[in-house]
Amino acid sequence: MIPLLRAAAIGWLLLSAAAFPAVAEPPFITVASTTSTEESGLFGYLLPAFTKETGIDVRVVAVGTGQALKIGERGDCDVVFVHDRPAELAFLEHGFGIDRREVMYNDFVLIGPASDPAHVDRGTDIVAALRKIADAKAPFVARGDDSGTSKAELRFWKEAGLDPRTIGAGWYRDTGSGMGPTLNTAAAMDGYTLSDRGTWLNFKNRQNLKIVVQGDRRLFNQYGVMLVNPARYPSVKQDLGYKFINWLTSPAGQKTIADYKINGEQLFFPDAKPATG
């Protein structure tokens, strides 16, 4: 009986061990980035190209911009790749990151139900559209998670001279979640929400939702990349991190970004400036 139990324990251990791939690890960097780059499918297309060229694996932790910057602040990644310019500049200023480079932009779109209770469809003015939604007290689903999209949305409300957190009782829903879950909620509630175009294009559970407002210049959404400050965290893989940043902003990386399309539609527009040295 004892041997049987021992055999079971050994079998269990072997099974556990076999489940972990026992291959030698290639060099890798950890990148904290946003849900929009992951959920839009861009990374699934972009990163294999980088790995193929350099042999460096990129491990992406995809969270909101606020949380991604926090991961960088604590030294838990090598590179931060996010979209909230003011927060990125503050990150640099506090000495958490160095060498910010702009990589690409995409745009935000206002998503709403086909029934369009606030009558904002085919608009091109995001601020006017938000005012109409507030007037109609139409359901609006907000990220509320300190992400780049959330901060952009709150900036637009501010420009409209409205504070949804005080006037929004009953129609402004703060979900505190990522873009995908927020779109799921909007689809279920027939609500309006602000999304980045990439996540929207890659989103499958649309139900009655569609794009109602787009093309406003204020909806422009800039992505930046930074190295976590190696002087602060010696664990940061400086050389590998720079290889990634340099590749993203190189002609090869920029072309790969431009080539990523869903149904023939380009999602991200590269706009890196040539390296200043």
Q: Taking the complex as a whole, how short is the minimal distance between the CB of residue 193 and another protein, in angstroms? A: 13
Structure tokens at 272: 């890196």
Q: Which is nearer to another protein, 7 or 252 (CB)?
A: 7
> Residues 144, 262: contact at Cβ < 8 Å?
no
Residue ranges in 134-193 that form contacts with another protein under rule CB under 8 A: 177-181, 183-184, 187
Q: Taking the complex as a whole, how short is the minimal distance between the CB of residue 197 and another protein, in angstroms? A: 15
User: How does DSSP classify residue 192?
Assistant: B
Q: Taking the complex as a whole, how short is the minimal distance between the CB of residue 13 and another protein, in angstroms? A: 7
* Under rule CB under 8 A, residue 21 binds another protein: yes
Over the window 209 to 248, marking each residue x when it contacts another protein by CB under 8 A and - when it does not, the resulting string is ------------------------x-x-------------
Distance CA 70, CA 20 (A): 30
Residue ranges in 68-97 that form contacts with another protein under rule CB under 8 A: 73-76
Stretch that binds another protein, among 9-17, 116-124, 162-170, 268-276 (CB under 8 A): 9-17
Exposure string over 235-249, b if 16+ CB within 10 A, otherwise e: ebbbebbbbbbebbb
Q: Taking the complex as a whole, how short is the minimal distance between the CB of residue 61 and another protein, in angstroms? A: 4
Distance CA 217, CA 71 (A): 31
The bridge status of strand 193-196 relative to strand 28-34 is: unpaired
SS (H, E, C) 79-130: EEEECCHHHHHHHHHCCCEEEEEEEEEEEEEEEEECCCCCCCCCECCHHHHH
* Under rule CB under 8 A, residue 8 binds another protein: yes
Closest residue by Cα to residue 27 from 10, 45, 7, 50: 50
Q: Which is nearer to another protein, 83 or 132 (CB)?
A: 83
Distance CA 262, CA 201 (A): 7
* Under rule CB under 8 A, residue 194 binds another protein: no
* Under rule CB under 8 A, residue 208 binds another protein: no
Distance CA 31, CA 241 (A): 9
Q: Taking the complex as a whole, how short is the minimal distance between the CB of residue 57 and another protein, in angstroms? A: 8
Distance CA 12, CA 71 (A): 35
Interface with another protein (CB under 8 A), residue total: 41
* Under rule CB under 8 A, residue 15 binds another protein: yes
Residue ranges in 32-61 that form contacts with another protein under rule CB under 8 A: 35, 39, 44, 59-61
Q: Which is nearer to another protein, 149 or 184 (CB)?
A: 184
Secondary structure of the chain: what % helix, strand, coil (to 5)? 45, 25, 30
Chain residues that interact with another protein, rule: CB under 8 A: 1, 4-5, 8-9, 12-13, 15-21, 30, 35, 39, 44, 59-62, 73-76, 177-181, 183-184, 187, 202-206, 233, 235
